[in-house]
A and B are shown apart, each in its own frame.
Chain A
Amino acid sequence: MNIFQLFNGLTFAALLFVVASGFTLIFGLLRIVNLAHGALYLFGGYIGFTVATRTGSFVLGGMGSMVAIAAIGFALDQGLLRFVRGHELRQVLLTLGFAFVLNDLALVIWGGDSFTVPVPQVLRGGLRVFGVFYPTYRLFVLVTGLAVFAALWLLLNHTRLGALIRAGVDDAEMVEASGVNIRRVFLVTFLLGSALAGLGGLMGGAFLSLYPSADAEILVFSLAVVIIGGRGSLVGVGVGSLLVGLLNTIGQVMFPELAYFVVFGPMAVLLAFRPLGLFGRPA
Chain B
Amino acid sequence: MTVTQVVPHPRRFAGMSGRAAVIAVAVVAAAAALPLCLSHYQVGLATEILIFGVLAMSIDILAGFAGRTSLGHGAIFGVSSYVVVYATAQAGLPPAAAFALGMTAAMLLAVIFGLLAVRTSGVYFLLLTLALGMIVWGICLRWTQVTGGENGMRGDVRPAWLVTHSAFYWAVLAVTAIVSYAMWRFVRSPFGLTLRGIRDSESRMRSLGYNVSVHLFIGFTVSGFFAGVAGALYAMFNNFVSPSSVALAQSVEGVLMMIVGGVGTLFGGFVGAAAIIALENVVSAYTERWQTVLGVTFILIMIFAPEGIIGKLRAIRTPEVR
* A interface with B by C-beta (< 8 Å): 31, 33, 80, 83-84, 87-90, 92-94, 96-105, 107-108, 216, 220, 223-224, 227, 256-261, 264-265, 267-269, 271-273, 275-276
Q: Say yes or no: A33 contacts B295, CB within 8 Å.
A: no
Neighbouring A residues of B138 by C-beta, 8 Å: 259-261, 264
CB closest chain-B residue, reference A100: B295
In contact, A96 and B298 (Cβ under 8 angstroms)? yes
Contacts of B306 in A (CB 8 A): 84, 87, 90
A80 cross-chain contacts in B, Cβ below 8 A:
299, 303
CB-nearest residue of chain A relative to B136? A260
Looking at chain A's contact residues, the main secondary structure is helix
By DSSP majority rule, is chain B's interface helix, strand, loop, or mixed?
Answer: helix
Interchain Cβ contacts under 8 Å between A and B, 13 examples: A33-B127, A87-B306, A89-B123, A97-B294, A97-B295, A98-B295, A101-B291, A101-B296, A259-B138, A264-B138, A267-B131, A268-B135, A272-B119
Question: Cβ of B132 and Cβ of A273 under 8 Å apart?
Answer: no
Could you say which residues of chain A place their CB within 8 Å of the CB of B255? 93
Q: Are B119 and A216 in contact (CB under 8 A)?
A: no
Task: Answer whether residue B9 sits at the interface, using C-beta atoms and an 8 A cutoff.
Answer: no
**CB-contact partner of A100 in B120, B144, B291, B303, under 8 A:** B291
* A51–B126 CA distance with the chains assembled, in angstroms: 36
Q: Per a CB cutoff under 8 Å, which of B120, B134, B292 touches A260?
A: B134
Q: Which of B131, B137, B295, B298 contacts A268 (CB 8 A)?
A: B131
- A220 partner residues in chain B, CB cutoff 8 A: 130-131, 134
Give the Cβ gap from A17 to chain B, nearest Cβ, in Å.
19
Q: Which of A93, A104, A224, A273 has the most CB of B within 10 A?
A: A93
Contacts of A94 in B (CB 8 A): 298-299, 302-303
- The CA-CA distance from A89 to B295 in the complex, in Å, is 16
**Chain A residues with Cβ under 8 A from B142's Cβ?**
256-260
Known contacts: A80-B299, A272-B117. The answer to whether A103 contacts B126 by CB under 8 A is no
Contact assessment for B303 and A264 in the assembled complex, using a CB-CB cutoff below 8 Å: no
Could you tell me if A92 and B131 are in contact, using CB atoms closer than 8 angstroms? no
